[in-house]
Amino acid sequence: MQLLDILLEEFLNMIRRGLVCLLFASLAWGQAANSNATPAPTAPPAQNQAPSAPMAAQPTTPDQVPMNEVIITIPGVCENWADKPTDCKTTITRAEFEELVKAVAPNMPSQAHRGLAQRYASALVMAQEARKEGLDKGPKYEQMQKLSQMQTLAQLLSQSLRDKAGEISDADIDDYYKKNLDSFKQVDIQRIFVPVTKEMAPSKVKLTPAQTELREKQASTAMKTEATSLQKRAVAGGDFEKLQAEAFTVAGMKSKPPTTKMDKVRKDGLTPEQQSAFDLKAGEVSPLITDESGYFIFKGGEKATPPLDQVKEEIRTKLRAQRLQDSMQAIQKMATPTLNDKYFAAPAPTPMPGTPVPPPGANPQAPHTTEHQ
């Protein structure tokens, strides 16, 4: 379910990119302009300059700034710039700016707000200059406006689906808990892991490929024999920690053997090959269980079901993810277009390795013939 959240977040980021790209484009514009500008000469310090008046105390944190206070002023930019070019400015209050932050990047840290304010101001200037040149008219502008509107609506729909999926009541959680009680059961079990092969010391003489294969086969057989022996000793009451240590010694493993204790394990926390161990009775030892990594021996323990309070948030997360997935899939089923293959040509099949490729212009359906001179 976490993968679904990641994919949806990437989808939302893609939608936001339209405005973000505009802001970054304005930043790049400003940086390019500044890089070509000649730095102004530094004025010499004034002589006998009167001491400046003490500055008024400034707020120590952004939270102390009133919501209706102007925090950004952009001279030369306004809606009626053509009517009053000399007296034109745009002001943005804290409330308006924070709405912008919420729309573009809700999780943006406060340290990045200054940079966003500068980029937004540059974007407003660029937009006004574009209107002066008449770029806000014509089919290209209309198509981009239409696409922007579609992106905005898609973003709002995605957020709406998230909000609705998160509307989970205590009754929903209680109902899910009761219907899926077995899935929350936990067991304390013990496990012995026997590697499928052993670490062998390098041969002192050069071996042929056949000798190397035989050596590896003998090592694998030795580990299977060891695993079978350990399983019988576990059934007879052998100590799991000691048996685990022996398995690693026989395998030539230099690392510390893993602990055999596995506490509060759920059935779905085991691999499909190992899930039969969940059904063992307390004290019962499993047969030898094999997969690609090695051999496993389990010993059953006591089972318990955690109370609802311990799994409440887990259930909430599962329900939210499932509802969101269902909603997204329902919408995606409606978004299955029929494409005209005359225009959207299907990609040519990839030839199998070794298949001869006909020369350009050749008829691939024509039979192959050989000329005899």
Residue 327 or residue 79, greater confidence: 327
Q: Which residue has the tokens 């000691």?
A: 242
The model's pTM is: 0.62
Q: How confident is the model at residue 88 (pLDDT cuts 50, 70, 90)?
A: confident
Asked whether 29 and 121 are in contact (CB, 8 A), the reply is no
Residue 347 has pLDDT above 90, yes or no: no
Predicted pLDDT at 246: 96
pLDDT, mean of residues 123-132: 90
Residue 218 is encoded by which pair of tokens? 């003998």
Query: In angstroms, how far apart are the furthest CA atoms of the chain?
Result: 109
Amino acid at 264: K
Residue 37 has pLDDT above 50, yes or no: no
Among 1-15, 236-250, 278-292, whose mean pLDDT is lowest? 1-15
Q: Which pLDDT tens digit goes with each residue over 89-99?
A: 889 999 999 99
Q: How confident is the model at residue 354 (pLDDT cuts 50, 70, 90)?
A: low
Residue 1 has pLDDT above 60, yes or no: no
Find residue 73's DSSP bridge partners: 91
Predicted pLDDT at 239: 96
Predicted pLDDT at 212: 85
Q: How confident is the model at residue 337 (pLDDT cuts 50, 70, 90)?
A: confident
Residue 349 has pLDDT above 50, yes or no: yes
Residue 23 has pLDDT above 60, yes or no: no
pLDDT, mean of residues 136-154: 92
Predicted pLDDT at 93: 94
Identify each DSSP E strand in the chain by its residue range.
70-75, 89-93, 186-195, 261-265, 289-291, 294-299, 303-304
Region of residue 195 (left: phi > 0; alpha: psi -120 to 50; beta: else): beta
Predicted pLDDT at 42: 43
What contacts 220, CB < 8 A, 6 or more positions away? 196, 197
pLDDT, mean of residues 236-240: 96
Predicted pLDDT at 342: 87
SS3 category, 50: coil
Among 103-107, 120-124, 135-139, 170-174, whose mean pLDDT is lowest? 103-107
CA separation for the pair 341, 345 (Å, rounded): 5
Predicted pLDDT at 33: 39
Predicted pLDDT at 373: 41
Predicted pLDDT at 302: 93
Q: Kindly give the pairing relationship between strand 303-304 and strand 289-291.
A: unpaired
CA separation for the pair 94, 68 (Å, rounded): 6
Residue 49 has pLDDT above 90, yes or no: no
pLDDT, mean of residues 229-247: 96
Asked whether 215 and 203 are in contact (CB, 8 A), the reply is yes
